[in-house]
Amino acid sequence: MRTQTQASPNKLSGKVALVTGASRGIGAAIAQRLASEGAAVAITYSSSPQQAEQVVSSIRRDGGQAIAIRADAADPKAVVNAITHTVQSLGKLDILVNNAAIAAMAPIDEFKMEDYERSIAVNVTSVFVAVKEAAKHMKSGGRIITIGSVNSDYVPVPGLSVYALTKGAVASFTRGVARDLGPRGITVNNIQPGPVDTDMNPASGAFADTMRTYMASGRYGKVSEVAGLVAYLASDDAAFVTGANIKIDGGFSA
């Protein structure tokens, strides 16, 4: 009789991951999940050094290896330096998670040009720069994962046009880069969360009751649920998944 084998708790043992914008929320949960599965993890932050160090400390307390790197995602040089620092400090780069992002909201005729430019810089240009630089270091089996948004193709409320623009760009970029890097054995995927309970978008916030009415599940997502999907895409189990834009939204866009 065949016995069922249990999943290894260290599927990512020996791997090195960089998670951008990981001092809190979804990014912190991703970093901690990848570390729990055996990866050495570098995280970036822009303005929250204490929170970043708390994430690093929590990983180290659990026996993992982690470092924090200050890097403003709006600065291409800082993004390149973060990847270089990761490789120099941890020896290589196997997994890149583009998590850093901002969400500016306003009606299109009131949207400030400086907010538009920063949105493009953080949500689009930083992803391009990070992928371009990471590809120089990755070998076959490399994983590139971007945290996009369900708003790339579903925008249920006004004021999100520029945010949707940036996340739509990420979705298209994912499909194109998957073609570029597929022959090298590197997968490229984009995770598209719906409303997730974070300090920036709490399940008890002003818009929460309205958002829940759009969701088949009737609840906000958990950061651990997004992190779980990242861990799957980063593992060998997902070697045949690439160029995908995967929604994790509790039926928000159903």
Instruction: Collect all residues with Cβ–Cβ distance below 8 Å to 186 and sequence separation of at least 6.
Output: 135, 138, 140, 141, 142, 143, 144
Q: Which two tokens stand for residue 48?
A: 């929250």
Beta carbons of 30 and 22 less than 8 angstroms apart: yes
CA nearest 44: which of 152, 138, 127, 103?
127
Strands (E), 35-182: 40-45, 66-70, 95-98, 143-147
Instruction: Report CA-CA distances (Å) from 184 to 133, 162, 187.
Output: 15, 33, 9
Please give the DSSP secondary-structure letter assigned to residue 124: I
Give first-to-last CA distance, the chain, whole Å. Answer: 41
Which of the following is catalytic: 45, 116, 154, 163? 163
CA–CA dist 117, 57 (Å, integer): 34
Closest CA to 33 of 95, 103, 100: 95
The Cα 104–Cα 112 span in angstroms is 9
Residue 163 annotated as catalytic: yes
C-beta of residue 96 within 8 angstroms of C-beta of residue 73: no
Q: How far apart are CA 166 and CA 148, in angstroms?
A: 9
CA distance 26 to 163: 18
Catalytic residues: 163
